[in-house]
Amino acid sequence: MKQKRKQYWLAGIVLLLCMIWVCAVPAGAAKINKSSLAMIKGKSAYLSVSGTKTKPVWSTSDKKIVTVRKYSAYKAKLTAKGTGTAYITARVGKKTYKCKVAVQKGLKIAVAHSSPGEAQAVVTALKKVGINGVIVKSSNVKVSSYDGLILPGGTDINPARYHAKNKGSVGINNSLDRLQYELLDKFVKAKKPVLGICRGMQMINVYFGGTLKQNIRNHRGVYHSTKIESGSRIGTLYGKSLSVFSFHHQAPAKIGKDLRVTQRAKDGIVEALEHQSLNVYVVQWHPERMSKGNKLLKDFGALCRK
């Protein structure tokens, strides 16, 4: 009997100590799952607190930027209302835990209609880096509704557009040429950022008065090294050199007005251009089909946010 009483007594002490420990844990052991968070205006996200039995009390430093409401016992739902920075606070007992929330506006990029699969490949790549790309099939668009324009890859441009005879151009589509040219003209005149990819680079060079080499070799479906000019936008992203994926048999010949060559292949073929005064950047290679290409797409997004 004495032995059983002793066991009960010890069990009671253990239980009491556990209760004391639980009461002491809430504030000291609590932690918020994120100390900083990036959000897009109009989107929602969640924060939670763990390591405590005390339910947190949530608040925001600026309801015009981010609102916060209780979602469950230890979780809160955040909604981005405006752009800027706000702080979400979780109060647990006498302690507070903060999360810095930076809200940017969502981007809407026009991706010009092109050959089957080319525009969609760009839209898919943009989505992976958090950018909304919309395929545009008409030049009758409201430019102010978009933050920038991307001209993707595709078939050859009609040589008549740069006053040349056909010496190897294939898959010519005059209606596609007209669509992309008119879209480019509208975005350039509105001084919106433009990114050209492969065919898009060629169209932009032609738009500014340049011409094309109609049938080059060793650039169709291959990776190859390139040299990048210092002080260029491409250079700030990738340094002095980059291995790129090319899929083209045409390239700039005469360079358009106010365009600067910023990247070349070893054989001298132009792989990138940038305008000297406008936010117009073009690459002959395919960033949407390269893992390292995400850096270029993110940079274009940052340019569109300015």
What's the half-sphere exposure (Cβ side, CA atoms, 13 Å) at 287? 31
Catalytic residue among 274, 275, 286, 304, which? 286
| pTM attached to this predicted model | 0.79
Q: Residue 6: is its pLDDT beyond 90?
A: no
In tens, the pLDDT along 42-79 reads 999 999 999 999 999 999 999 999 999 999 999 999 99
State the pairing for strand pair 280-283/270-275. Answer: antiparallel
pLDDT on residue 26: 45
Residue 198 known to be catalytic: yes
CATH superfamily of 108-305: Class I glutamine amidotransferase (GATase) domain (3.40.50.880)
Burial (CB < 10 A; 0-12, 13-18, 19+), residue 239, is exposed
Domain 30-104 in CATH 2.60.40.1080? The answer is yes
The segment(s) of the chain belonging to CATH 3.40.50.880 are: 108-305
Of 99, 113, 118, 198, which is the active-site residue?
198
- What are the residue ranges of CATH 2.60.40.1080 in the chain? 30-104
Candidates 225, 245, 227; CA nearest to 235 is 227
